[in-house]
Structure 1
């Protein structure tokens, strides 16, 4: 696609040929508010990793050596003992809530105690311990609450980003049509000034011919001055409108002129109000985000309700050991299963007041109800905004027809009045009045078309659509 940026003939100023599609693209690419909002989904995706980390297995390695020499009351002066430990364990929590630890413990012992049968030996043990919650924290849904909420939040942030894009782009396109209107204001003011100057020249000619009193020139010149001021005001208004559009597109304010290439669309039959509301419920990003927020509130309400239950856990462990003077024999003995241990049982923990969990559940339940009310408010706003936009669009269509007729009438009336003035059948004040009416009609007709274009933008925004 060819860049809309071009140099003017003298190279002193950039001329940016720009259409509505360019405004949409450049705003999405360069608007700083949109850029800032674009990072939020990625930030939320990082929270998914954080919550996945709750189920990360942990590998633990240990290696240490101890030595002890003590004086005794036995026949030997002292006893010595040394031990080298090298252990390996894998622990973590499954999505079912089951905590596990698989532990392999090894050590080598050396000592001279007279009570030992072996002064040097190896010991090895392999054990597995499992703990499963049966009430509080029971079930995959409870364990995955934070992770599922984080995944939902990512989608909610994407909706928030899309909503920000739609809002900012809609604002930019409206600014485009505001600039179109402002430039038309310059054109209308220039037409009015040209007519006043022409009339002033005619009055001077009539004064010279003795056809009118010299005092008439003051009225003509005063009107010319007023219209010169009006043109300056229109040009200033257009510069401000241009800077507003540049700012939202993040285009440099000075040294660049925007050349507008798009014209307001021709009016077409608008969709029905019911279809607009239906589309808004399907696509409107803030509404979809609110539904996701409600889903997350439901997740945490269920979670905190579960957290009020007593903490009852089943515990089970099993292990096998081996001991011998040679390490390989120790491993063989461990593998034989001759020496083993096991444990099974229940652990119950009942909080006396449980204020923390009761408070968390009360808060989560109220937030859920609050979110439901917020959703109903959005639904109401969608209906109100859709009805207003629908009415404005229909009004804009009628306004285009009415302003077109007014412009044609003003043009014909001015032509007739100008003829009467030349024939001496009309006053200067009447002519100047009809000139003002004609210039105002030019502006009103252009503004009504731009207002129609902005009404379409607003109608799309309400439905969650780009212009």
Structure 2
């Protein structure tokens, strides 16, 4: 049985050494160093959601331009040349002739809408409001991407910090194994302590492998957010845990909520969408009102049948025709199309108002939850600091007691496990505290892409 345990431990160690040796050449390559600010710049320039929001913004700008152009008159030019064979009526002489005749005509026409029931005005205002909404959506999308970068960047840093904690545990377990080996050699400790410590060291190495795997997963997720080459080798710059600012902010939930209602871009976008829907109702109602348009045209022509009497220029001058007219259209009955359009626009307007109410409720819940989570994170800072200090002292005492034979290996192993857990909990508490601060900024709508991750 002991031989089987030893064989398993040796196999585990060989696998561990093989993985480290296989990872060595990869780490030896020159990795691209990426700071947090560089990560934000990459995400803002590459993220598909931002590019799509920017495209929608450009598209709506074109729609505004089109709505403005509806106020301008149109202008059309046309010309035609034809050859007639046989009997025909000459358009310039109005006589029947049987011959081959060439004709040419030139015309120009223009028209402008003078009044359409304020439909054009309402359409332009709706387009401008929708453009404003798209601008706020674009801004909120940028904040969302920056927040995703912060979240995933912190996950990478925390995973890397956990690797250091687990590596320190492996080193400590190795030193402890060497010490126990010496105790066993001189007969002051039973061989069972050696086997137990070998198992503890193998467990520590396994936990280190898990931490390294979690680090790779966190890096992969960040690479996906940044949308950079997944096959590239990257080094994300992480600050020292001791240099992370733990300044506690005093927040008032009512002030936070008012700030969110004033500054959240998605709320501003929804409010602009309501204005656009209201103008959409006015635009639909314009179908009930009469419309008035002004038009004018000019035309002239030339015929080869009269070229022996009038020159080309004389014919163009003599055959001129001008027209100016006003057109008034009064809707009487259009198969209920206008009424249906108005009712449909009113439903869209009511839905937009409901969407705003729902979004306001969501924002209030998000701000409240972020505030409560922040209070919990502040408390965890104090608790984990005490936990880590106590675990460190307990480990020191157990090491001293074990060295003089006053403690068992089980007690020492448990003390070391408690210390490793306390160190991991402390790291998580520090980064969770900082993350909750950024989460409040995000839910308030004040997240600044140019702000560094750590001061």
Specify if TM > 0.5: yes
- Cα distance in structure 1, aligned partners of 2:382 and 2:278: 52
CA-based RMSD of the aligned residues comes to: 3.6
2:147–2:442 contact (8 Å) kept in structure 1: yes
Compared CA separation, residues 197 and 373, structure 1 to 2 (3 A)? same
- Cα distance in structure 1, aligned partners of 2:223 and 2:191: 49
**TM-score when normalising by structure 1:** 0.76
Question: Residue 253 of structure 1: CA displacement?
Answer: 3.2
Tell me the number of residue pairs that the alignment of Structure 1 and Structure 2 aligns. 405
The structure richer in strand per residue is 1
- Bigger Cα Rg: 1
1:20–1:176 contact (8 Å) kept in structure 2: yes
- Is 1:275 the counterpart of 2:291? The answer is no
Quote the residue 1:33 is aligned against: 49
Matches within 5 A, 1:114-153: 137-139=116-118, 142-153=119-130
- Cα distance in structure 2, aligned partners of 1:34 and 1:318: 48
Compared CA separation, residues 237 and 318, structure 1 to 2 (3 A)? closer
Q: 389, 395, 402: which one pairs with 2:376?
A: 395
The structure richer in helix per residue is 2
Q: 208, 214, 217: which one pairs with 1:240?
A: 217
Task: Please list every run of 5 or more consecutive structure 2 residues that lacks an aligned counterpart in the other structure.
Answer: 1-23, 90-94, 301-309, 450-455
Q: 269, 273, 277: which one pairs with 1:297?
A: 277
Quote the residue 2:111 is aligned against: 92
SS at 1:80 equivalent: strand
- Is 1:262 the counterpart of 2:244? The answer is no
1:267–1:397 contact (8 Å) kept in structure 2: no
Quote the residue 1:128 is aligned against: none
- Is 1:195 the counterpart of 2:172? The answer is yes
Quote the residue 1:124 is aligned against: none
Compared CA separation, residues 350 and 268, structure 1 to 2 (3 A)? same
- Cα distance in structure 1, aligned partners of 2:178 and 2:325: 113
Question: Residue 143 of structure 1: CA displacement?
Answer: 1.6
- Cα distance in structure 2, aligned partners of 1:207 and 1:397: 47
Quote the residue 1:284 is aligned against: 264
Quote the residue 1:18 is aligned against: 34
Task: Please list every run of 5 or more consecutive structure 1 residues that lacks an aligned counterpart in the other structure.
Answer: 1-7, 73-77, 99-132
Quote the residue 2:142 is aligned against: 165
SS at 2:187 equivalent: coil
**TM-score when normalising by structure 2:** 0.78
- Cα distance in structure 2, aligned partners of 1:244 and 1:401: 30
- Cα distance in structure 2, aligned partners of 1:288 and 1:445: 39
- Cα distance in structure 1, aligned partners of 2:362 and 2:173: 49
SS at 1:253 equivalent: coil
- Cα distance in structure 1, aligned partners of 2:442 and 2:146: 9
SS at 1:466 equivalent: coil
SS at 1:138 equivalent: coil
Question: Residue 369 of structure 1: CA displacement?
Answer: 0.7
Question: Residue 230 of structure 1: CA displacement?
Answer: 0.6
- Is 1:448 the counterpart of 2:429? The answer is yes
Query: Deviations 1:259-302 (Å, cap 9, x if unpaired)?
Result: 42435432232432223222222221211111111111101112
Query: Deviations 1:110-136 (Å, cap 9, x if unpaired)?
Result: xxxxxxxxxxxxxxxxxxxxxxx5xxx
Quote the residue 2:64 is aligned against: 48
Matches within 5 A, 1:311-350: 311=290, 348-350=330-332
Query: Deviations 1:38-64 (Å, cap 9, x if unpaired)?
Result: 222112222233334434521323355
Compared CA separation, residues 173 and 224, structure 1 to 2 (3 A)? same
Deviates more, 1:446-455 or 1:23-32: 23-32
- Cα distance in structure 1, aligned partners of 2:197 and 2:33: 39
2:34–2:234 contact (8 Å) kept in structure 1: no
Compared CA separation, residues 374 and 346, structure 1 to 2 (3 A)? closer
Question: Residue 441 of structure 1: CA displacement?
Answer: 1.2
Compared CA separation, residues 88 and 192, structure 1 to 2 (3 A)? same
Compared CA separation, residues 249 and 291, structure 1 to 2 (3 A)? same
Query: Deviations 1:364-412 (Å, cap 9, x if unpaired)?
Result: 1111111101101111111111111112122212211221121111111
Compared CA separation, residues 399 and 345, structure 1 to 2 (3 A)? closer
Q: 341, 347, 350: which one pairs with 1:360?
A: 341
